[in-house]
Amino acid sequence: MMQAVFFGIAMFIGWLFLDWTKDRELTKQGVYEALIAALIGAIGWMLFDLFLPAQ
């Protein structure tokens, strides 16, 4: 589960960085988009971790 949290944090920071390099500014909308994308990614990672057996 901690991997999913770290993945979500990394995705959030990466998304913000890409938005900032594109526009050279951060907007509320960009932060919200990054947060939503990170949440979806972290939840997906957690579901994979729960339902796919580790080998």
| pLDDT tens-digit map of 16-54 | 999 899 888 888 998 999 999 999 999 999 999 888 877
| Predicted pLDDT of residue 54 | 72
DSSP per-residue letters across 22-39: HHSS--HHHHHHHHHHHH
End-to-end CA distance of the chain: give it in Å, rounded. 17
Confidence band for 11, pLDDT divided at 50, 70 and 90: very high
